[in-house]
Amino acid sequence: PPMDPHVMAARGYQPFIDLLRANMTSCGALRIDHVMALLRLWWIPYGETADRGAYVKYPVDDLLAVLALESQRHRCMVIGEDLGTVPVEIVGKLRDSGVYSYKVLYFESDGEHHFRAPQAYPVQAMATITTHDLPTLRGYWQSDDLTLGNRLGLYPDAEILRALFADRE
C-alpha cells in the first residue's frame, strides 16, 4: 500500500527518510519513478474499481525538502521521472529542489519527425534513449513494438496503427 501522508508527517517523515537512505547509500544517482507521487497519488479503495478512487495529496514541499537534504547527505543526484501528464504545480518545485527532469528521445521531437538537438534540452535534465516501459532503440526504429502489438490485437483500429507506423518514418 502507499504511504499515508498523515502518518508520514506524524512520524517526522522517517519512513520516507528510511526509504531514501536505503536507496541512496550505494549510488551516485537515484531515479524516482513517477515523481508526481510526491504531490499526489490516485488511491483506489480495496475491492473497488478505479472509478471509485480519488487523488490523495501529499505534503510535496516537505517531501522535496527531505529529498534535497538526503541527496546532499549522500552526495546523490536525483532524477524525477516526469513523463506523461505532469501537474504544472510540481514542475517548478522539482527544478527548484534540484531534481533533474527525465527526457526520453522518443518523446523529444518537433512534430515534424526531427529529434531535438542536445542543446535544446533543459540544463537540469537527464536524457535517455528509452525506458523500461518502451521498446529498445532497435525495436523502435524497426517498429517491432507496433508489429507485436498488432499481432496481440492491441490496435483494433487500422487507421490508428497506420498513423503510428507513419510517425516512425
For the chain, what's the residue count?
169
Q: List, for residues 72-92, the tens digit of each pLDDT value.
A: 999 999 999 999 888 888 999
CA dist 35 to 31, 88, 90, 99, 155, Å? Answer: 9, 13, 9, 10, 30
Residue with grid cell 537512505, as numbered in its chain: 21
The pTM (predicted TM-score) of the whole model is 0.85
C-alpha cell at 126: 537527464
Mean pLDDT, contiguous 10-residue spans, the chain (169 residues): 94 98 97 94 96 97 98 98 88 95 90 85 92 93 96 95 91
